[in-house]
Structure formats: C-alpha cells, structure tokens
Structure 1
C-alpha cells in the first residue's frame, strides 16, 4: 500500500511539472502609457516600446537616440508606478557593456593603420606568454575566433562570491598567470566563432602592452577626444553626476561593474548623445581605422559576419547593418547602423542583462530600424 502511494505521488508530481512546463506563458498587460505624439512614425515607435516594457519592473528607463539622414532626435522612457512616462535622458550615462568591444576593435585598427601592429601580430610577438602550443593573433581575439573560453577559469571562484560585480578582483597579475599557466582553448584558433569576453579583454591588454598607455588613455586619444564624446569613459568619477542607477532583474539598485584587467571587453560608460556621435562617425570614409574595423572577416552564421568588433547583419534586401549589444548586472544596450540608408539607432538602459527578457531590447531595436526604413518608403 505504501509503495502504491509513493508511485501515485511520483506520477502526480511528474504530471504537475509537465503541465507547468507546457502551460502557456502569461503575458503581462501593456502598462498605462503617457507616450503620445502627433507624429505617426514616432507613435508607432512608442507603441513598440510600450509593448516590450510590459515585461520590465518599475524604475527601468530606456534612452533612445535616432539618426535618419541629417536628422537626429532622442526619446527617453521611464516606467514608474506602472506608468510609462517620457523623460529627458539624452545626456544621462549608462554602462554600455560589450559595445566596448567595438571601441577595442577600432583601437586595434588604428594601430594597424599607423603600422604599429599587424592583424597577424601574435600575443607571443608582444611578449605575452601563453600555455598552449597555439599562437593567437590580434585579429582572432577581435573576431572571437581565438578559441579562448568566454571567461577565464581562475575568475570563476571570485565571481561566485561577487555576483553583483564579478570582474572586480580580476587584475593583470591574474590574467597573466592564467594565460601562462592555465589557458585552454575550445577550438583551434582561427577556425570557429565563439564569443569570448576573455579574448576581447586580452586584446585590450595586448594593446596596452604595445602602446604603454592604459585603456582609458587609448580610447580618449583615438576615439572620444576626436569625436568630442565628453561623457564617454571607463572612469566613473568623471561622470558620476550623470550616471543612471543600474537595476537588477527585480528593478532594485545594483552596483556598477568594474572590469579590471578585462576592461576592454565591457568597461565603457556613455550617453545617448555621445553614442550618436560614435554612430555617425561610422559613415566617415576618411577615417581609415573605423572603415577597417567594419570589414567582414569571419562568418558567425548564415546571415552574419564579424569584423573587428562589429557584427555585420546581412538583410534580405541586400543591405547590411552594423550591430552590437551589451549587458552588465545593471544595464543593457544595443546599437544598429545602416550605412547605406544613413540610419542609426542607439538604445541604452538600466535594465539588467540578468533579466529573463533583456534580449527583447535587440528585437525592439530591429523593430525600430524597420520602422525608420519603412517611413522612408
């Protein structure tokens, strides 16, 4: 009798789990919205924003920056008390996460143009010791084809105890020790695309070794100062008054991330206004470093290739978009650029990358780009 009861309870438990897994997901209602405009295109964009922000908690804000030919404009949206409100946040600052990798790719391209390095330069050429029998070129690090894992194994223990700031204790000494004594590869360098924060961080470290400048100095010299991007930095003390509070997946305040030795993988902060300057610079055909960074170098999948940091999305109409996204514990970002149609979109937010629906931001970006293109026709 006892065995029968246990079997019955086990069947009941399995049935419950199966039904729970197969139950349709409950979609929350679109929150009350104060987003209203007489411009039909902008109203369509606002409605699309509202449909995505239904999933996010209060105090999450999105900052949008648009370029359409010669026109530039901004939109800020805050969810507060379950109401979507329009706010002004074009000069607010957010962590941009992995969009930093595009900056790092341009730094590499700049050194190549100046003949200080070659894309084929290896870590060994720069005196950086690695444990494996393979060599790692700077191009492979920038295109995520180095075969290096996503994060170094000697960071995991520290990250486990600092989940709200996982990179904070990972310094140059630990990076060098890992490369020299513990590095393992997931594939032969130069063969497969496998996204790696470690690889991008090692690239930034290598550029610092070559130049004798730190990463902040490099981005200021090559990118932010020439483009007058005064709110773009890796130094939070410079923009502390403009910095938006990051939020965790529940919408609660969460610490900023310190990328330390892997700063080139995700350590930059910026504003919508600055990022639009960066987007427009991608159309400057006289800037040979930026143009070099955009050239496709390795397939990601059937519809995408990667350059030096930039992902290049090939569309059915024959056009292509430059794209990258980013995410940290308290922020999520995405950028799309259509070089032919001269349209660009930047979305910065204090939405955690840990939120289960954080990737909807990329889908929202695609939707908005399609709206901008459709409006042209």
Structure 2
C-alpha cells in the first residue's frame, strides 16, 4: 500500500472512531513519524472557525507542560527536582513538619501527601459541580492554605492525585527562576517547541472552543484557573498538541532534548500489584513493541487526551467539548493508540523475520 492509500485508510479509521464518541465538537488527530492525519466532527453545527483551528481547554493535561518546564529548569541548574518546596517558598508559616519534607519531585509525581483540591473548595465542588471555585482562588490564598494543610502521609510514601500539589509548582518555579509562571512557560517551553497557538487563558472571540455540560447542549463558561494556572490552565490547538507529541517522540530534534527525555523515565508504580507505572508526569502502560505514555484532562465542559508510543513514532490527540464518560472519547482514543502500536510492532516483527528463499 502506498503512502496516499495508507493516509486514506487511517483517515477512514479515525472517522469511524469519531462515530463512537458523542460531543458537540470533536477533533481526533494522529501523527506517525511526523506525518499527520486529522479528522473532525461532532453533534453540533460546525462553528465558523474550523474545529481543528480552535483552542481547547486541556485541564490536567496542563500538568505535562508544567512538569516539562520543571525538568528544563532542573537540567539548566536553576533548581533541582529534590529541592524542598520550602527552599523556594521560604517565608510560609508552616504548621506541620511533614510540609517541610515536600520536594518539587513529590509535587510533580503526586506523592506529597496533599489532597486533590484544598478542603475549602470541596463543598462547593460537590454542591455546584459547574461553578468554578478556582477563579476566586488566587496564589496568595493557595499558599496560605498550604501553610495550614496537614499532609495525609509522609511525602514520598503514597501516590495521591493532587491539583493542589501541581498548583504549588507554579509559584515555586517563579521564585527560583525570577519570572512568573506564564513567562517561564512561554520562554522555556512554548517558544522553543514552536507552540504558537498555546495560551493560559482565553484568546480573541471565536478562537476558543465552547464547552458543554454532560447533557451536551448547555454551554459552560471558559475555565478561569486563578492560582491553579500550573495545574490546569493551558489551552491549545490540535495542531500544537500534535507538535507537542512529536517533540516527545523525537526529543533530539528539539532544543529541549534532555528535559523531554527526563519526563519519560519511569519513576514509580502504584495500584493493584503495582501495575500502574508513572514517569515524572506521564502515565505509562505496557504495549506491543514498548510502553505507551498518556495523560488526560478535563475542565467543566471540555476534555482532552494525549498519548504516544515512542517505539513506533505514533501519537494521538483527542479533544471534545463535552465532559463525562458518556462522551467515550478517552477510551476510544486510548484503544486506537494501542491498536496502532500493535500493528506497528507486527510490521516490525515481519520485516525483521526470515524471508522464504526464491525458487530457482
């Protein structure tokens, strides 16, 4: 099969995958050794701007950008991953000794012992799931809450997912590097990787995708993350997300080679029989030919998936303007990546195998 036929066949598979998802707007893209295939769809009328040109809210996928920035600062000697958080935020009146043991690595890997969100946000999140409590939670309040929060366990002892912990990386890196988080991210990650469509807030009118509630019809206001910028504020176009994946697949082609490799090193295991592996920022699962790495994210009305398989040079981007399991986007995108990885491994095994002798 020639390249054109291969591209057409992949586009057909992606279009079929879209039929398994349910959201007003959907974009599904694949990169294989830098060659891209992107399809769009959704239950709503197409917006004035093409769906694959809009910026989508990444939610927790933003954490991969933050931790890549952290790795780059460590590679550059601005800080060290095992620096105590208090070394970069020295004036906090901490109440608990465990808080002084938390390192930047603990925050990045969700092993600091901090809750998922500050306790004073929990009641509002339960009673009003679409009300954005983050918007009124500035950095000063974030740091004050941390100073009064007792870590649930000794840092490094257990994995517990924490937006709270990742949010603290923003002000810590800013203090260490002498510039705010947004400036650091732009100068040290976005610009070197050529990610021109990535922002930390809304763009001009019509350039941002509009999220929806679980019902798929009620619009949701854009997410203002307040002091949680480093935990969930990134917005990006599908094209920039494909470029981001390609940087991880081929680090030596970028200015961030060492940092991109650092964030892919397996660091810890968790879950039943310790089957789940984590790097500094990515989830890692076994797959044919080698592991695949992925992360997901969601805001109040959008969700996103990024995954890549270094052994086959394959990456997948999926974004949707609806949040919830009934969208079926995450599972569909993950299964597709795993299948493509398996097909690539089968081809590699076939190519490396013995060939029948020619008849003479």
What residue in structure 2 maps to residue 248 of structure 1? 213
What residue in structure 2 maps to residue 368 of structure 1? 336
Aligned pairs for 1:104-183 within 5 A: 104-126=66-88, 127=90, 129=92, 130-134=94-98, 135-156=101-122, 159=125, 163-181=130-148, 183=149
- Deviation digits for residues 181-200 of structure 1 (CA, Å, limit 9, x no counterpart): 2x022222101111100011
- Deviation digits for residues 183-226 of structure 1 (CA, Å, limit 9, x no counterpart): 02222210111110001111122112222322211110111111
**Distance in 1 separating the partners of 2:179 and 2:320:** 30
Q: CA deviation at 1:374?
A: 4.9
Q: SS of 1:340's equivalent?
A: helix
Q: Any gaps of 5 or more consecutive residues in structure 1?
A: 1-36
Aligned pairs for 1:60-79 within 5 A: 60-79=24-43
Aligned pairs for 1:270-285 within 5 A: 270-282=236-248, 283-285=250-252
**Distance in 2 separating the partners of 1:38 and 1:125:** 51
Q: SS of 1:65's equivalent?
A: strand
What residue in structure 1 maps to residue 351 of structure 2? none
Aligned pairs for 1:1-377 within 5 A: 39-53=8-22, 56=23, 60-80=24-44, 88-126=50-88, 127=90, 129=92, 130-134=94-98, 135-156=101-122, 159=125, 163-181=130-148, 183-236=149-202, 238-251=203-216, 252-282=218-248, 283-285=250-252, 287-301=257-271, 302-315=274-287, 317=288, 319-352=290-323, 355-358=324-327, 360-376=328-344, 377=347
What residue in structure 1 maps to residue 357 of structure 2? none
**2:170 and 2:229 in contact (8 A); partners too:** yes
**Distance in 2 separating the partners of 1:138 and 1:69:** 33
Which has the larger displacement, 365-374 or 333-342? 365-374
Please give the TM-score of this superposition, normalised by the length of structure 2: 0.84
- Deviation digits for residues 157-178 of structure 1 (CA, Å, limit 9, x no counterpart): 5655684322111112211211
Over aligned residue pairs, what C-alpha RMSD do you find?
2.4
Q: SS of 1:43's equivalent?
A: helix
**Distance in 2 separating the partners of 1:52 and 1:158:** 30
**Distance in 1 separating the partners of 2:161 and 2:259:** 23
**2:7 and 2:37 in contact (8 A); partners too:** no
Q: CA deviation at 1:227?
A: 1.7
Instruction: Identify, as 1 or 2, the structure richer in helix.
Output: 2
**Distance in 2 separating the partners of 1:163 and 1:330:** 8
**Distance in 2 separating the partners of 1:240 and 1:96:** 18
**2:305 and 2:319 in contact (8 A); partners too:** yes
* Dislocated runs of 4+, deviation >4 Å: 157-162
**1:149 and 1:184 in contact (8 A); partners too:** no
**Distance in 1 separating the partners of 2:266 and 2:310:** 14
Q: Which has the greater radius of gyration?
A: 1
